[in-house]
Structure 1
Amino acid sequence: MSEIEIIKAFTGLQDPRRRAGQRHTLPLCIALFTLAIAAGNKGFLAIGDWILSYREQLIELFQPTKNRLPSYSTIRRTLLHINYEQYSVCLANFFDIKPVPGETVAIDGKVLKHSYQVENDNPNSDSHPAIMLVSAYLVERGLILEPCEVDSKSNEIKALPELIEKLALKGVVFAFDAINTQKKLAS
C-alpha cells in the first residue's frame, strides 16, 4: 500500500482485532470510514454503497493487497472495538484542528443519551451511571475539539479546569453556560 497522508494519520491507532483472519489493515478501514462520512454518507449501508460506487478509484488510490477493499460489515466490526479517544486525536492531528488567537471556544457538558445501564435483571452487567462528556466547540469554524470524559463521581464543573489546562490555549475567548460561571472557576 502506498503512503497516503490519511493512512499515515491512522497508523498510530491500536488495533483491537485478533490477528487471525485479518484481510485489511486498520488504517485502511478507518480511512475509508472517515472519507465516506466526509462525503456525506450516513449509516454503514450507505458507506458500503459509497465504497462500491468508487471501488476502482479507491483501489487505484490506496492500492490494497489483492486489490480488495473492506466491506461495510468489516468496517462496522472494526469500529465496534476502536478506541474513540485515539481516533479523535488522530483525526484532529490529520486535520490540524487547533484554535487560533481571537477565536471563540464554547465549552459545554453533555450526558450521552442511553449510556446508562438498561439491564437491571442481568447479573453479569456492571452497574454504571450515564457517561458525561465536556466538549469544546470552535464557533467560527464549526469544529468540535477532542472531548473530555467526566469522572462518574464528579460533574462538569470539576472537569472544566482539566479541559482548559489540556487545551492550553492563549488568546482564545471561552464561552460557557450558566453552570460554569462559578466564582472558583474564574480564578
Structure 2
Amino acid sequence: MEAFAELKDPRRKAGQRHNLTLCLALFTLAIAAGNKGFLAIGDWISSYNEQLINLFNPPKNRLPSYSTVRRALLHIDYQGYSTCLANFFNVQPSAGETIGLDGKVLKGSYQIENDNLNSDSHPAIMLVSAYIVERGLILEPCQVNAKTNEIKALPELIEKLALQGVVFAFDAINTQKKLVN
C-alpha cells in the first residue's frame, strides 16, 4: 500500500469507507493473480478475504467490494498509478534489451456531447507505450498531445528514456524519413 501513498484520492470525502491505497493494492494483486474484470476481482477478494484482511489490516476488518474498487479506479490519475507501479517494481531496461514502442488509442476514451453544457467534448486519449520485450514488462506510458499523433511523441519518450545500449523497435508508422533525421 505504501507504493500508492503518493497518489491523490480524487473521490469526495463524504461516504468513503475504504482508502484509495487499499483499493489500488487489491486491484493490482487481483490483476497480477490473473483476474480479468471486476466480477472476477470481487470473487478473488471474497475467496482470499481472511488472508487479505490479515495482510492489509483494514479498518473494521472489512475489505471493499468489487464495485467500490471499480468506483475508486474511475477517476484516478492513470499516469501516477503506472509511475507508482514502475517505482515499486523498479522496472528499468538494461543494456542490450529491446524496447518496443507503439501508440494506442484508449477504447471509449473520446466524448462527443453537444447537448450537455456540463461536459466538454474531447478527442480520444492516445498513449505511447514502451515495452521491454525480453521480460514482458511495460514501462510508464506517455500521453500524446490531443492535437498531434504518436510520431511527434516518440522523440520525447526516447529522450526521456535516454538509455545507453538499448535497442528500440518501432511499428511501420514510425519509419518516416523526417523522424529518422
TM-score of the pair, normalised by structure 1? 0.89
Moved over 6 A (4+): none
Partners of 1:14 and 1:75 in 2: how far apart?
15
Contact map agreement 2:127 2:144 (CA 8 A) in 1 = yes
The match for 1:143 is 137
Q: Please state if 1:11 is matched with 2:5.
A: yes
2:160 to 166, 171, 178: 166
Partners of 2:52 and 2:34 in 1: how far apart?
17
SS in 2 for 1:109: strand
The match for 2:150 is 156
1:6-53, Cα deviation, whole Å (9 max, x unpaired)? x11111111112222222221111101110111111111111111111
Matches within 5 A, 1:1-187: 7-187=1-181
Contact map agreement 2:102 2:170 (CA 8 A) in 1 = yes
Partners of 2:118 and 2:20 in 1: how far apart?
31
1:119-141, Cα deviation, whole Å (9 max, x unpaired)? 45545442222222111111111
Aligned-residue Cα RMSD (Å) equals 1.6
Post-superposition shift, 1:107? 0.8
Write the letter of the residue equivalent to 1:12.
Answer: E
Post-superposition shift, 1:118? 4.0
Partners of 1:27 and 1:125 in 2: how far apart?
29
Write the letter of the residue equivalent to 2:6.
Answer: G
Partners of 2:44 and 2:134 in 1: how far apart?
30
Change (3 A) 1:94 1:158: same
Post-superposition shift, 1:74? 1.1
Write the letter of the residue equivalent to 2:134.
Answer: E
Partners of 1:18 and 1:118 in 2: how far apart?
26
Count of residue pairs brought into register by the alignment: 181
TM-score of the pair, normalised by structure 2? 0.92
